[in-house]
Amino acid sequence: MPVIRTLSKVAKQALLNPGCGCQPITVAVRTISFSPRQVTSDASFHSVSFSETDHPKVLITGGLGQLGVGLAKRLRKRFGNKNVILSDIRKPPSHVFYSGPFIYSDILDYKNLREIVVNNRITWLVHYSALLSAVGEANVSLARDVNITGLHNILDIAAEHGLRLFVPSTIGAFGPTSPRNPTPDLCVQRPRTIYGVSKVHAELMGEYYHHRYGLDFRCLRYPGIISADSQPGGGTTDYAVAIFHDAVKTGKFECNLKPDTRLPMMYIDDCLRATVEMMEAPADTLSMRTYNINAMSFTPEELAQEVQKQLPDLEVTYDIDQVRQAIADSWPMNFDDSNARNDWGWKHDYDLPELVQTMLNYIGSDSRIAQTN
């Protein structure tokens, strides 16, 4: 029966044993309509395997955000330019469009996503599309659609096509009743923002799909991410990026959090490397599917003092944004990432002095080039 050799285990079972309890499947000789949205509890999905000489075919959603372009650059160096596809609903700048494959992708359009995965033979999916904390609070209904409904589409497609799926989580997945210093991988979470609620939902749904369907789901809880080549994007930790731009351009910085607000942070290079290492880690090394990762923890005052070692004339003032302050006060002060370090060898490279020097070198050189032009 040549047709049956092309079917999934569930379809074979339904054809060969009609009394197995599987949902009825209509089979055509040439095509089979099949979706995890229609699969019963007998379903089993597994990641597509490839030999060491092959490379994964990667799709990155929300690719024009803070992390997508950098991750694509890193993965293209590793797997080849054509094997990593950036996607977003926005038009990319020229340097992104011409640097490698880019396509339009709306995560709320299930059919569009499914066609992209099938037509490009995707094996890894990195799901970066999300509305961040402060932006999400300003538009809860949109955050719910993007962060939750969009995730459901991603999970179903990843399960249906046996993808390895990475969905980032965040310090925002914790709440005021969580232990804050340090915050372990497993504890009470109970966030109070739609962003945090949606990320807890993503963690639990991903782990559910892993245990129920065998989906190769992987997740890292990112701390605040600091990068020089992207502007602040509506997050509560954005002050730690804005201070460098303002310090170089104007010599003055107004912080919207209290000077003693301690939060875990990480330089973007460490974040992207951790993501790749997590995606490449053998499944048998993972004792869990969602890990904390961390590099450093500091306050706005400590960051300002470190910047002033390089730019002593920097003036720092504080005008507290009560919404962002309330969010920050509910988040971890420090992450316990010992499981990531023990299980798959996570180790950060950048501490606070290295972070400050790197950011000032990068932004300062860009500023000097702009002035000469």
Q: Can you say whether the dihedral through the CA atoms of 183, 189, 193, 197 is positive or negative?
A: positive
Chain centroid to CA 148 = 14
Region 214-239: what's the mean pLDDT? 88
Q: Is the pLDDT of residue 224 over 90?
A: yes
Percentage of residues in the chain with pLDDT exceeding 70? 82
Whole-number pLDDT of residue 205: 98
Region 206-222: what's the mean pLDDT? 98
Whole-number pLDDT of residue 10: 39
Whole-number pLDDT of residue 8: 41
Burial 255-290 (b: 16+ CB within 10 A, else e): bbbeeebbbbbbbbbbbbbbbbbbbebeeeebeebb
Distance of alpha carbon 191 from alpha carbon 146, whole angstroms = 18
Band the pLDDT of 364: cuts 50, 70, 90. confident
Q: Going by DSSP bridges, is the β-strand pair 263-267/296-298 parallel, antiparallel, or unpaired?
A: antiparallel
Whole-number pLDDT of residue 365: 60
Q: Is the pLDDT of residue 4 over 70?
A: no
Whole-number pLDDT of residue 235: 78
Region 263-271: what's the mean pLDDT? 97
Q: Is the pLDDT of residue 24 over 90?
A: no
Band the pLDDT of 366: cuts 50, 70, 90. low
Band the pLDDT of 133: cuts 50, 70, 90. confident
Least confident of 137-141, 337-341, 344-348: 137-141
DSSP-assigned letter for residue 182 = S
Region 170-199: what's the mean pLDDT? 96
Residue 67: both structure tokens together: 């992390």
Please, which residues bridge with residue 21 across strands?
none
Of 195, 213, 222, 239, which one is the catalytic site residue? 195
3-state secondary structure (DSSP) of residue 151: helix
Residue 166: both structure tokens together: 């990475």
Band the pLDDT of 37: cuts 50, 70, 90. low
Whole-number pLDDT of residue 232: 67
Whole-number pLDDT of residue 66: 84
195 is catalytic: yes
Region 135-163: what's the mean pLDDT? 96
Residue 350: both structure tokens together: 């950048």
Whole-number pLDDT of residue 371: 42
Q: Is the pLDDT of residue 114 over 50?
A: yes
Q: Is the pLDDT of residue 119 over 60?
A: yes
Q: 90 or 14: which carries more pLDDT confidence?
A: 90
Q: Is the pLDDT of residue 254 over 90?
A: yes
Band the pLDDT of 16: cuts 50, 70, 90. very low
Region 142-154: what's the mean pLDDT? 97
Q: 277, 234 in Cβ contact below 8 A? A: no
DSSP-assigned letter for residue 149 = I
Percentage of residues in the chain with pLDDT exceeding 90? 77
Whole-number pLDDT of residue 234: 65
Q: What is the mean pLDDT of the chain?
A: 86
For 109, counting Cβ atoms within 10 Å of its Cβ (0-12 exposed, 13-18 middle, 19+ buried), the class is middle
Region 223-232: what's the mean pLDDT? 84
Band the pLDDT of 9: cuts 50, 70, 90. very low
User: Who's near 38: CB < 8 A, 6+ residues apart?
Assistant: 23
Band the pLDDT of 52: cuts 50, 70, 90. very low
Q: Going by DSSP bridges, is the β-strand pair 84-88/252-255 parallel, antiparallel, or unpaired?
A: unpaired
Whole-number pLDDT of residue 71: 97
pLDDT 10s digits, 270-325: 999 999 999 999 999 999 999 999 999 999 999 999 999 999 999 999 999 998 99
**Residue 325 CA: distances (Å) to CA of 65, 118, 135, 261, 318:** 23, 44, 14, 8, 12
Whole-number pLDDT of residue 5: 34
Whole-number pLDDT of residue 54: 82
Q: What angle do CA 349, 86, 277 make, to 5 degrees?
A: 30
